Amino acid sequence: MIRDITLGQYYPGDSILHRLDPRIKILATLAYIILLFIVNEWIGFAACFVFLAVEVALSKVPLSYILRGLKVIFLVILFTFVLNLFMYDGEVLVRIWKLTITDQGLKRALFMAGRLILLIISSSILTFTTTPIQLTNGLERLMKPLSKIGVPSHEIAMMMSIALRFIPTLLDETDKIMKAQQARGADFESGNILHRAKQMIPILVPLFISAFRIAQDMALAMEARCYHGGQGRTSMTEMRFRRRDYITAVILLLFAAGIITLRVLI
Amino acid sequence: MSIEVRNITHIYNKGLPQESVALKDVSFTVEDGEFLGIIGHTGSGKSTLLQHLDGLLKPDEGQILIGDVDITAPKVSLLAVRRQIGLVFQYPEYQLFDETVAADVAFGPRNLGLGQEEIDERVRESLSMVGLDYEKIKDKSPFDFSGGQKRRIAMAGVLAMRPRVLILDEPTAGLDPRAHRDVLNMIRAYHKSQADSIIILVSHNMNDIAEYADRVLVMDKGQVRMHGTPKEVFARSAELREIGLDIPDLADLAEKLLARGLHVPKDAFTIPEMAQAIAMQLRGGKTDPAAEGGEDA
Ligand SMILES: Nc1ncnc2c1ncn2[C@@H]1O[C@H](COP(=O)(O)OP(=O)(O)OP(=O)(O)O)[C@@H](O)[C@H]1O
Ligand SMILES: [Mg+2]
């Protein structure tokens, strides 16, 4: 159950998306997310959907694996949907007690939930096809201009990739601790909310202690290998844009132009 | 109350590219009062097997019967199962959480719904069983102890549930020789103190298994490779070495002495026994009761 969380994980493979330059992938994902919020008509939405569908197909990551990641945040999506459903004025479709569902509300709710789903899938495609190291290197390079104005770009990139790297480790740890407490008769599945909240203590305390221990070990191991921040650090593999990266950039620009034109015209 | 494992198979990440078969058609039985040792190379499925015995994992195929209860059945009460079975995980010290040692050890008994008096009594008893002084440490934080002491506290937490079946996953990993001995002797003492209790011990130390276990289960790549008395299992030294295991030091010594023409038994698994056998051989067949520690032949 806890292992269903696939968010932020790398999915080994050798698809064209896996081989693209991480910088292009990061920029493309950012651009795609912005476009998702520019879109406000069915047709643009359909275009975004198709674009992502092609991306998923190219990545060769099984659909079931991608959807597993969505399962975990299903509640968030549902909440957004319901909230939006009742929030807008318009032609009344259904009336439940004092709440009304309007055509505008339904449309917005569908759009918002759809946006969330596409947003999550598109960003998981980024992490599924990019190793944490590539992701860090890409982020660092993209943020490099910012270091001139004092943004610690290397440190930010490093922190992000370590955080990603530790999601599975901490999930493993949680799983182990939960089982150990269950073996001692703890019951996490029944009882009221108060009881369940209390049952979290035997999981959370050991989990925090483990997290601190892991972090400390990691810091020591990095220092033992002479890590001292980003200054003067070089990379074994230099990133270079290739033909496929330029082609991707062009496709992306065309897509963005199309979406923006749609928005302006309609 | 015996344990019967029938043809269980467990597959992790079923249907995903990382799918891995951790257990494959595993069957064996453990009788009342038995001390079962489990050995197997890293990743052979030992920990996965133990978690099945406590109902923490469900097999993809097969059944597990504890007494007459099939714990793999859909609606079985797992709390009832866990009342009978105590599982000490690998590195149990990382599961401590409560403010005081006494409260942490009491966690299991409290979950069983026992009365306060009974709980106090059990906490006191199980802490002394693991060689700790109840009065001295009961109000201290469990986090203020050394790794080895924390492990004892965690084990006391399981012993306090007085399980009929005590399962331990490498309880001596990372302990110094003294603590190592203490933990094993404590397990043996528990075994003797609870009539008909079953002990299942996973260990990478062949000497311990030879000395303590009544029967040995050998796992290899998720399957049962051998199951028998230590004598039967450790006689198959070539096969054991082939799957990344070994035989006890004394069996190894016996093998080497036999190769040199000294007739010592292959199944003398304690040092005094072996010393006596060697002495007897060297003196031409006479017994010497005082021969101890004469391991270097
Ligand atoms: N939670 C899990 N998810 C996926 N695969 C797992 C998980 N736990 C174990 N495995 C896999 O199942 C196999 C058996 O693992 P298991 O932990 O049971 O081995 P083990 O015999 O206890 O090894 P060790 O001696 O190292 O403790 C291994 O190949 C392991 O990679
Ligand atoms: Mg193990």
The verdict on a CB contact (< 8 Å) between B97 and A210 is no
Closest Cα of chain B to A231: distance in Å?
A: 37
pLDDT band at A2 (very low <50, low <70, confident <90, very high): low
| Residue bearing the bigger pLDDT, B43 or A191 | B43
- The structure tokens 């094993």 sit at B184
CA distance B145 to B192: 29
Residue A248 predicted with pLDDT over 50: yes
CB B183 within 8 A of CB B169: no
Chain B residues whose CB is inside 8 A of the A181 CB are 95, 107
- Which residues neighbour B53 within 8 Å (Cβ) at sequence distance 6 or greater? B3, B5, B64, B66, B85, B87, B165, B167, B200
pLDDT digits (tens, 9 = 90+) for A118-145: 999 999 999 999 988 888 889 888 988 8
Nearest residue, CB atoms, A206 vs list B16, B51, B97: B97
Closest Cα of chain A to B115: distance in Å?
A: 15
Q: Which of residues 179-238 of A touch B (CB under 8 A)?
A: 179-187, 201-202, 205-206, 209-210
Chain B residues whose CB is inside 8 A of the A206 CB are 94-97
Q: Which atom of ligand 1 is nearest to the CA of A172?
A: 1
CA distance A200 to B46: 28
Residue A85 predicted with pLDDT over 50: yes
Q: Which helix (H) or strand (E) holds B53?
A: helix B46-53
pLDDT at B107: 94
Residue A72 predicted with pLDDT over 80: no
pLDDT at B136: 92
| Residue bearing the bigger pLDDT, A238 or A15 | A15
Please state, in angstroms and as integers, the Cα–Cα distance from residue B2 to each residue in A49, B212, B219, B225, B235, following that order. Answer: 58, 19, 20, 21, 27
Residue A49 predicted with pLDDT over 90: yes
pLDDT > 70: percent of chain A: 97
| Residue bearing the bigger pLDDT, A266 or A25 | A25
Domain residue ranges in chain A = 1-130+237-266, 152-235
Among B38, B34, B27, B32, smallest CA distance to B4 is for: B27
pLDDT at A181: 93
pLDDT > 90: percent of chain A: 36
Report the predicted TM-score, pTM, of the whole model to 2 decimal places.
0.81
Residue A236 predicted with pLDDT over 80: no
pLDDT at B70: 92
Rounded mean pLDDT of A64-92?
A: 82
pLDDT at B294: 45
Q: Is B126 in the pocket of ligand 1 (CB under 6 A)?
A: no
CA distance A9 to B82: 35
Q: Are strands B61-66 and B3-12 parallel, antiparallel or unpaired?
A: antiparallel
The verdict on a CB contact (< 8 Å) between A206 and B51 is no
Q: What is the mean pLDDT of chain A?
A: 86
pLDDT at A7: 66
CA distance B203 to B181: 13
| ipTM for the predicted complex | 0.85
Nearest residue, CB atoms, B79 vs list A12, A187, A206: A187
Residues of chain B with pLDDT under 50: 288, 290-297
pLDDT at A166: 85
Which residue of A lies nearest to B110 if distances are taken between CA atoms?
Answer: A185
Q: How far is the centre of ligand 1, averaged over its atoms, from the C-alpha of A25 (Å)? A: 34
Residue A3 predicted with pLDDT over 70: no
- Which residues neighbour B137 within 8 Å (Cβ) at sequence distance 6 or greater? B101, B127, B145, B153
Chain B residues whose CB is inside 8 A of the A205 CB are 97-98
Chain A residues whose CB is inside 8 A of the B112 CB are 185
Rounded (10°) CA dihedral B9, B10, B15, B19: -110
pLDDT at A187: 83
> What's the Rg (C-alpha) of chain A?
22
Rounded mean pLDDT of A180-209?
A: 87
Please state, in angstroms and as integers, the Cα–Cα distance from residue A184 to each residue in A207, B103, B172, B179, following that order. Answer: 17, 13, 20, 24
Q: How far is the centre of ligand 2, averaged over its atoms, from the C-alpha of B131 (Å)? A: 26
Instruction: List helix spans (H) across chain A.
Output: 16-19, 22-38, 42-59, 63-72, 74-85, 103-129, 132-147, 153-183, 193-224, 243-265
